[in-house]
Amino acid sequence: MAVYRRSSRPRFVLLLLVLTAITLVTVDTRGSGGGITGSVRAGAHDVFAPVQSATHAVLRPIGDFFTGALRYGSLKKENSQLRDQLAQARGQALQASDAQRQLQIIAEQNQLPFVGSIPTVTAQVIDTSSSNFEMSIQINRGTANGIAVSMPVVTGGGLVGRVAQVSAHRATVLLLTDPTFSVGLRLTTNGAVFVADGQGQGKPLTLELVDANTKVNVGDKLVTSGLNLAEYPKDIPVATVRTVQSQPGQLQQQVTITPTADLSRLEYVRVLQWSPQS
Amino acid sequence: MSPEVAARIRLAGLLVLALLLQTTVVPDVRVLGTCADLMLLCTVCAALVGGPELGGLVGFIAGLMTDLFLTTTPLGLTALVFSVIGYAVGSIRRTMLQEGWLLAPATAFVASSAGVVLFVVAGVMVGQSQLTRMGPVGIAKTAMLVGLMNAVIAAPVCRLIGWAAAGTRRAPEASAEISSIAARHSPRRLR
């Protein structure tokens, strides 16, 4: 009797669940992430956002406590150094207030050199991806601040990624290293154009189809190509060449590149309000 | 409030808490670039405590909640994988597994690793070929690490789920198991 009960009902439930899941996958794939499923995801992000921030606010100090306890000696030394620097800085601040005003004006005119006249939104990085198969970060700005899907995201170091999903007050930025990421690049030394693909966590990006005759050296810089209808504006620094391997007789070289922006410790990023049409 | 409704509310509360931790602090604790998967662990524990039906249902809900916070994979993929894992663990638990202190960690290790691999396989079947970009070695490494980290925290999570699921009618013939597990995990009840 027990055997009979266990073999029928749970199986029926499983069948129902699997069919529902497959339907959802189909609907989402057909709508390519937009439509109903896209707005459901965005809604969930917005509902969860305040609770997530609160959780972080509560749990960060605990993590910091353990980090601090392990580094007590160096922190004490650093503390006294900082006190010293603070005293100096207070004095300098009085003299510097006028210089600072001037600097601010200059800075407003001259933002990041590669950004040019593109308007930007500065955002704080809140979380990293909760998955092991996705390289992304969450930022605390969304549609309410003028952010839209596929806008490029940069730091002082260069390109970080692009906005993959956006809700009212949150956005998910897909990093350069995500396996679904690809970007058109130009070698600054000779202007050759390539496509680079992300390879996942901790792995350098690779360049596609590098001709054996193209001169590529370790350390060469790569910037966004900005070709017609490219997804990114021109001349944003992206990466430096890390390794070049070419075997005799092969038509192509194997080239890996390292992003110039430090993707492992992102705190603030700038979203460029730019789209291929503009 | 009937015991079943109360159990459902407790389970839902635990899942929301797990999702909250998974999307905030869990990714900060990475070993060799890999973090634990609390939602998968909740599924495995629910299956251990409540059998295949509860395992499948909790797996579906936990997977769907996970999917809401992913970007590159389609909504429903994780739900599909987790409900299958929950059902499988629940079925095997009834027929094959022995009681013992090692039950929760060992099952969590095997089932979580299997869950990661199944996610990649199911993903590839619906066209998510980027999931295999890290190569077979990378996938095996990720599966092992997720399994290990989940195994480490399996015992307390199982105790919590056992407390939450006590009173659910999802698997009536498992009530003896639930009470035995609940008794084993909470010393207060033994007194």
* Residue type at position A222: L
Task: Enumerate the residues of chain B whose CB falls inside 8 A of the CB of residue A267.
Answer: none
Residue A168, helix vs strand vs coil: coil
Highest averaged pLDDT of the listed ranges A70-79, A102-111, A120-129: A120-129
**Residue-wise pLDDT tens digits, A235-251:** 888 888 988 888 777 78
| Region B155-183 average pLDDT | 66
Query: Residue length, chain A?
Result: 278
The runs of H, that is alpha helices, within A71-185 are: 72-109
| Region A253-262 average pLDDT | 87
Are A29 and B127 in contact (CB < 8 Å)? yes
pLDDT tier, B179 (very low <50, low <70, confident <90, very high otherwise): very low
Task: Enumerate the residues of chain B whose CB falls inside 8 A of the CB of residue A200.
Answer: 133-134, 138
Q: What is residue A236's predicted lDDT score, i.e. its pLDDT?
A: 85
- Helix or strand run (H / E) with residue A210: strand A205-211
Q: What is residue A202's predicted lDDT score, i.e. its pLDDT?
A: 77
For the four alpha carbons of B71, B75, B76 and B79, in that order, the dihedral sign comes to positive
Q: What is residue B81's predicted lDDT score, i.e. its pLDDT?
A: 95
pLDDT tier, B131 (very low <50, low <70, confident <90, very high otherwise): confident
Instruction: Say whether residue B50 is in contact with chain A using an 8 A CB cutoff.
Output: no
**Residue-wise pLDDT tens digits, B22-80:** 988 888 888 888 889 999 999 999 999 888 889 999 999 999 999 998 888 888 999 99
CA dist A245 and B52 (Å) reads: 52
CA torsion angle B96 B97 B98 B102 (round to 10): 160
Are A52 and B94 in contact (CB < 8 Å)? no
Instruction: Say whether residue B191 is in contact with chain A using an 8 A CB cutoff.
Output: no
Are B79 and A10 in contact (CB < 8 Å)? no
Helices A35-70 and B38-68 meet at what angle, rounded to 10? 140
Q: Look up the pTM and report it.
A: 0.77
Cα separations in angstroms, A108 against A111, A122, A155, A267 = 6, 13, 16, 21
CA dist A254 and A244 (Å) reads: 6
Of residues B56, B66, B133, nearest to A179 (C-beta): B133
Are B126 and A29 in contact (CB < 8 Å)? yes
Interface test with A, best of B116, B130, B149, B173 (most A CBs within 10 A): B130
- Residue where the block lists tokens 């929301």: B16
Q: What is residue B27's predicted lDDT score, i.e. its pLDDT?
A: 83
Residue A234 C-alpha from the chain's centroid = 18
User: Is residue B135 within 8 Å of residue B120, measured between CB atoms?
Assistant: no
Residue A34, helix vs strand vs coil: coil
**Residue-wise pLDDT tens digits, A24-46:** 888 888 776 667 888 888 888 88
CA dist B166 and B164 (Å) reads: 6
CA dist B14 and A202 (Å) reads: 33
Task: Enumerate the residues of chain B whose CB falls inside 8 A of the CB of residue A175.
Answer: none
Q: How many CB atoms lie within 10 A of CB B93?
A: 23
Q: How many CB atoms lie within 10 A of CB A242?
A: 15
Reply yes or no on whether the pLDDT at A161 is more than 70. Answer: yes
Q: What is residue B97's predicted lDDT score, i.e. its pLDDT?
A: 67
Cα–Cα nearest to A33, from A146, A145, A128, A150: A150
The DSSP bridge partners found for residue A223 are A186, A237
Reply yes or no on whether the pLDDT at A142 is more than 80. Answer: yes
Task: Enumerate the residues of chain A whose CB falls inside 8 A of the CB of residue B47.
Answer: none
Average pLDDT along chain B: 84
